[in-house]
Amino acid sequence: MRILKVLAWWLSFVAACGLIITIEAHGQLDRFTHTHHGVGFVIVLGLLLAIPARVIGVVAAFVIELLLVGWERSALRSVIRPSASVRLDMLSTLVMLLLPQRWLGYLLSFGLLFLVNSYLAAHVHLSATHLLTAWGLQIAALVVLQSLVSYWLHRLEHAVPALWALHQFHHSADRMTLMTSARGTQFLKGIEMGIVFVPMALLTQPTLPTPAFGTAGFVVVVAYFIYHIAVSTNGYLAHSNLDTDYGWVGRWLIVSPHMHRLHHATEARYHDKNFGNDVVIWDRLFGTYVRCDPTQDPASVPIGLEQNPFNRRDSLLGSVQEYFITTLVVFWRELNRGRTASRRGQLVAPT
């Protein structure tokens, strides 16, 4: 039985990776359609897109969790009779899965995503890849920089009151549902994209890297793609109810469900810890890594916010109001609070 369970886990993991590849390819297909208008092509493309790739990717993650934690503790069970928190997770995921997400993102981010995607990407060229003479160095530098920027951006979202006012919506979930990984607003996404654009632009360019693209380059690109898939898959699993810390791998290499659960914990001793989204090295290096108290079961650590402005309305309409309105109200209140405090010469810390 144990062998069958392990086999089922790995088959589900491989399936999830394959489905996430489809998710990544979805955006490329979307761009590809702008240059192909043949009737035959449109029909074939329509058949390919008939299976909603992003939805299947989320479902695959649900299956992995279900196989490992069982029905009673699975996120799938919580979806059947959702609490207010789970309903907000579902709404956030729905917004993420919508096909016209790009235009919806432009609207909900008040144009910030449009500015990054359309203007900065077209007019700001800061590429430094000519300093790196090999594909391997370029992609390795991109992976490291991307991970480091992600870590520090996450720390800023906890340290800067205005950013915390937006990021706390993600932390307002009172249970992990896999969909919690998508619990966020397009407004914050626009700010994040604007912050990370400049450092990311240093290692990207509109043309191929300086060396010729040979077999070695192909291998490196495939390796990067696999890395990206693994990070995407683990992002789902880190917000699941999996009862694992990945052993020494989770303590030194990859962010585990236990590690990230402590980041969401309500207890003060775990606050402002475990900021890494992919690897553990940055928390270890900058002194923000924390392990669970030996006397406490990590799976039993309560998560959420002590003072939670969300999850208060137990209805679909209420969830819509909290997602689209309450998030912005909390943000503007924090801005006004900060402006008032600055006039008085006071410092305001996130609560």
Q: What percent of the chain has pLDDT over 90?
A: 27
Higher pLDDT, 147 or 197: 147
Could you report the per-residue pLDDT of 279-312, keeping only the tens digit for each? 999 999 999 999 988 888 888 899 999 889 999 8
Higher pLDDT, 47 or 137: 137
| pLDDT of amino acid 141 | 80
Across 25-29, 105-109, 132-136, 206-210, least confident range: 206-210
| pLDDT of amino acid 3 | 58
Mean pLDDT of 126-149: 76
Alpha helices (runs of H) in the chain, residue ranges in sequence order: 2-33, 39-48, 53-69, 75-80, 84-97, 101-108, 112-114, 121-123, 135-159, 161-171, 186-201, 215-238, 248-252, 257-263, 281-286, 316-321, 327-343
> pLDDT-derived band of residue 259, with 50, 70 and 90 as boundaries?
very high
> pLDDT-derived band of residue 230, with 50, 70 and 90 as boundaries?
confident
Across 3-17, 102-116, 125-139, least confident range: 3-17
The DSSP code for 323 is I
Could you report the per-residue pLDDT of 58-89, keeping only the tens digit for each? 677 788 888 888 888 888 888 888 899 999 99
The DSSP code for 265 is B
Task: Answer whether residue 255 shows pLDDT above 90.
Answer: yes
Say if CB 116 and CB 190 are below 8 A apart.
Answer: yes
| pLDDT of amino acid 288 | 96
Mean pLDDT of 179-193: 89
The DSSP code for 278 is S
Across 53-62, 67-76, 135-144, 255-264, least confident range: 53-62
Measured between its terminal Cα atoms, the distance across the chain in Å is 48
Entry pTM = 0.79
b/e 266-303 (16+ beta carbons within 10 angstroms → b): eeeebeebbbbbbbbbbbeeeebbbebeeeeebbebeb
> pLDDT-derived band of residue 225, with 50, 70 and 90 as boundaries?
low
CA dist., res. 224 & res. 206, Å (int): 18
Task: Answer whether residue 153 shows pLDDT above 90.
Answer: yes
* The residue to which tokens 């915390």 are assigned: 164
| pLDDT of amino acid 49 | 47
Q: 24-28, 30-34, 247-251 — which one is most confidently predicted on average?
A: 247-251
